[in-house]
Amino acid sequence: MDMLTATRREWNELYVFFNLLAQGGIVLGNEEGLPSGRVLPIFQVTRQEHDGERRYTVEETDIHVEGEQMDERFPREDFGTVAAMILDTLKRERNEEVEAPEGVEGFLDALKIYDMEARTDDRTDFYITFHDSSFPPVGFRIYSRLCAMMPLLDGGRTANLKFEQGGIRFSQPAVNKINYTDDPDNPNEVARRMLYIESMGGVLKYNDVADKVFRSNLCMIDLNLPRVLAEMVRLMHLDNISRVDELTELIEERNPLKIKEELIRKHRYYRYKMKEFLLALALGMRPAK
């Protein structure tokens, strides 16, 4: 009999999902990103399964599962036990494909969960309703160090930021070299082009957001956020830095908006805006939605 196998990302999603149901709440973090001790109680988690929307309501000792062809209750402690088994396996195994721990496949069959990752039209993994049914559900996406990290935004035109090039006027042969020359020492095509432009005296400046919906989403957080993100993208390629916290520190030093030092150091303007941006992404914001 073949054992059930899945990717680390797939197991990770189930681990988080089951653990939330077992705990029945989310521990809130403080301004430093550390647990604050405050817990936000979960009323219900909604997840897309193979047979449509499935609702998992947290009760005192059980999880009430309702769907198109399902209306059953399962002990909450079982979700915690299975979550712990998955976590232990992910910590122990280093392969990308991981076999199901003994007994987990039977639990998934009982729950009629056949899709390891939820079926969604966007990258939202599930929706959580806090406190009671009077509160609107909030979309969440799972990020974890137990598997390879996914990019913050989907690649594609809707997430593009436009730059304009100034400083000097390039000849056609120089333009051709920028666009078509390969460099085995620098496989990052975008970074290579940007480095060549700036090494020749060109200047890349933020121009616009390619998609009007994404522009509106960013401007709802701050009218200047697109300009800040564009500078972070530029620094990411030129300095080969991908961590958001390190890029934010660089932005504080370079101060692309030319705001007062008091706003940066005392009120942490750039850090606050980045936290708002990351929070919006975590709660389901997408470039074109």
CA distance 86 to 99: 10
* pLDDT for res 19: 95
Question: What are the DSSP calls for 137-193, one per residue?
Answer: PEEE----TTSPPPPSS--SGGG-EEEEEESSPPPHHHHHHHHH---TT---HHHHH
pLDDT < 70 positions in the chain: 1-2, 118-123, 149-150, 155, 181-187
- With a CB cutoff of 8 Å and minimum separation 6, the contacts of 144 are 12, 16
183: amino acid identity, one letter = D
CA distance 70 to 109: 13
* pLDDT for res 88: 94
* pLDDT for res 20: 96
pLDDT tens across 235-248, in order? Answer: 988 888 888 999 99
Model pTM score:
0.65
Tell me if residue 229 falls in helix, strand or coil: helix
Chain centroid, CA 7 distance in Å: 18
* Dihedrals phi, psi of 133, to nearest 5 degrees: -70, -10
